Structure 1
Amino acid sequence: MDVTIYHNPACGTSRNTLGLIRNAGIEPVVIEYLQNPPDRATLVGMIERAGLSVREAVREKGTPFAELGLDNPATTDEQLVDAMLAHPILINRPFVVTPLGARLCRPSEAVLEILPAAQRGAFSKEDGERVVDAEGKPVK
């Protein structure tokens, strides 16, 4: 099963998402997007497939978002994509792409919507929050 995660290992949400994918018995293609950012077509396609606007896919916190003037409401989608390609830290994370769709997995359990396999057992986030019970069912 082809599953790709655009991953930042320094991000807890990204690590939790990767853990959920692996808990489903899937070893995904892991792309550390800060070192290997997607090209324009891949980035735009991923955003569209996830049903997001470009602005929803931009990360503001801990990035040069404001310093680059991207907080101006007149900033176009094209300008935002250009900035994301020039400064990959602006790409919100983690994006996961599977045959069932693409998601910006914030929160990490959003990945469950597009995984082709059920969870194989319990899973808790790094902070201890239970996400999946012992039977592999999502905890509501």
Structure 2
Amino acid sequence: MTVTIYHNPACGTSRNTLAMIRASGEEPEVILYLKTPPSRETLVKLLGRMKMKPRDLLRRRGTPYDELGLDDPKWSDDELIDFMIAHPILIERPIVVTDKGAMLARPSEKVLEILDNPEIGSFTKEDGEVVKGKK
């Protein structure tokens, strides 16, 4: 199985998701999307695969979301994508892509839904929450 994660190592959810992928026996392609942002074409494809609107993938906390006035409904989907391309920190993370689909893995254990081997045993997230792999 091919697994790709759009990852921010400063994000606990992203780190937990990456660790769960590895616990499942997969070694994913890790894209540090803040250093290597997706192209417009890639972002549009990801949104389509996840069946999400650009507004649903916007991150507010720790971003220029408020400064840019992105709450305003005047912004079209294309304009929101432009903002995400210009400011990749606006892209919520982690995004995981496998042969089974693509998803925003929030909470991190959602990633188990699209892994070949979701049985990861007992996994303790950084906040101490214990997650049981699916059987």
TM-score by length of 2: 0.95
- For 1:40 and 1:33, locate their aligned partners in 2 and report how far apart those are by CA, in whole Å: 13
1:78 counterpart residue number: 78
2:128 counterpart residue number: 128
% identical equivalent positions: 60
Matched residue type, 2:121: G
2:53 counterpart residue number: 53
Kept in 2: contact 1:8–1:14 (CA 8 A): yes
**Cα RMSD (Å):** 1.1
DSSP-derived class of the 1:71 partner: coil
Change (3 A) 1:110 1:120: closer
Segments of structure 2 that go 5 or more residues without pairing to the other structure are none
- For 2:93 and 2:34, locate their aligned partners in 1 and report how far apart those are by CA, in whole Å: 10
- For 2:81 and 2:62, locate their aligned partners in 1 and report how far apart those are by CA, in whole Å: 18
- For 2:20 and 2:65, locate their aligned partners in 1 and report how far apart those are by CA, in whole Å: 29
TM-score by length of 1: 0.92
Kept in 2: contact 1:25–1:119 (CA 8 A): no
- For 2:54 and 2:27, locate their aligned partners in 1 and report how far apart those are by CA, in whole Å: 28
Q: What does 1:10-29 correspond to in 2, within 5 Å?
A: 10-29=10-29
Kept in 1: contact 2:20–2:120 (CA 8 A): no
Segments of structure 1 that go 5 or more residues without pairing to the other structure are none
How much does 1:119 deviate? 2.3
How much does 1:120 deviate? 3.7
1:137 counterpart residue number: 134
Provide runs of 4+ in structure 1 moved above 3 Å.
none
Further displaced range: 111-120 or 74-83: 111-120
